[in-house]
Amino acid sequence: MGIQSGIQTDIKNEIFISYSRRDMDAANRINTVLTEHKIAVWYDQLISPGVNWREAIVSHLSQAKVMLILLSENAQKSNELKRELALASSLSVPLLGVRLTNVSLTGAFAYELTGLNWFDVFEDEEKGYRQLAIFLEKLVNDTSTVRSDSEMLIRQFGTGRQKALPWYQKIFYNVFTLLMCFLAVTAIQFWQYNHQTSAIEKLSDNGESSLQAIFNVLVLSSVGSPLLLLTVLINGVQEVQIPLLITSVINTVLILFILRNLTRRAINLFWKPNKVS
């Protein structure tokens, strides 16, 4: 905790370093190099004793000009880094990766850093750190540069680029896209189910209002898709029910992916274990 940045400046011009504890030597080295270039740096080693480290991280990250994320095999195993990455993304903080090893990004790292450039420092550390410092020095010292400009500049510079995810992987990571697909399939399934069973008419004949009947069929065609799928399978699949079976399977899969993504986001934002990685 005795490490110091040595630069006193506006928190909005700070470079926030996110790293795995197993890569602390690299984080300390980058802090030293950037400080030598008069760049304000902040990372958790600068937290004073007694300060709530979670609140400090959120405070500095929310106003940082750029989040520097140190990429390695250790980083990809760190749940804390994934939470910081999710928080930076939600706050629209520009991201810049620094590859400490020749690592291929997967999961949340691949998704969040898609299309962004990075700096490779593992082949020649001194040259890599120097190039990184020069780039960040220009970015920080240009007071006219705002976050959106930083994002654009980061995409233009660097020594490598994260390959874009295949379209099908992007769909499964994007909650909004999943919801749009879910609503589209629900509309199709609603029409199929009512066309085959006349469910709305039957419910109305049993005394339900038209709106209540439509609502019940809509629920069954949307979040009730797993139940509808199970019912079709139990009663035996007839040829006329195959389209309904297909839409039920698709909606069930979409529901599972939506729940998975929402759960992961909730864990990243609200689960606060001790920082050990």
Say which CATH number the domain at 94 has. 3.40.50.10140
Evaluate if pTM is beyond 0.75: no
pLDDT at 33: 92
Burial class for 65, CB neighbours closer than 10 Å (0-12, 13-18, 19+): buried
Q: Read off the pLDDT of residues 91-122 as tens digits, 9 standing for 90 and up.
A: 888 888 888 988 887 777 777 776 666 788 88
Torsion of CA 119, 124, 125, 129, to 10 degrees: -50
273, part of any domain: no
Say whether both 87 and 205 belong to one domain: no
Q: Read off the pLDDT of residues 158-181 as tens digits, 9 standing for 90 and up.
A: 444 444 445 455 555 677 788 888
2, part of any domain: no
Number of domains in the chain: 2
Say whether both 17 and 106 belong to one domain: yes
Mean per-residue pLDDT for 177-201?
Answer: 88
232, part of any domain: yes
Question: CA 8 to CA 190: how far, in whole Å?
Answer: 61
Say whether both 131 and 18 belong to one domain: yes
Nearest to 155 by CA among 101, 205, 116: 116
Lookup: tokens for 3:
């490490």
pLDDT over threshold 60, residue 153 = no
- Identify the domain boundary among 134, 150, 165: 165
pLDDT at 270: 59
pLDDT over threshold 70, residue 87 = yes
59, part of any domain: yes
Say whether both 60 and 115 belong to one domain: yes
pLDDT at 172: 57
Under 8 Å between Cβ of 13 and 22: no
196, part of any domain: yes
1, part of any domain: no
- Identify the domain boundary among 165, 188, 219: 165
pLDDT at 184: 93
Which domain range does residue 183 map to?
A: 171-268
Say whether both 44 and 16 belong to one domain: yes
Share above pLDDT 70 across residues of the chain, in percent, rounded to a whole number: 77
Say whether both 138 and 33 belong to one domain: yes
Mean per-residue pLDDT for 240-259?
Answer: 87
The order of strands in the sheet holding 66-71 is 41-42, 15-18, 66-71, 95-99, 117-120, 160-161
Mean pLDDT, the chain, rounded, equals: 78
| Residue 220: partners with Cβ closer than 8 Å, 6 or more residues away | 193, 199, 227, 228
* Highest mean pLDDT (candidates 136-140, 224-228, 249-253): 249-253
Question: CA 110 to CA 107: how far, in whole Å?
Answer: 5
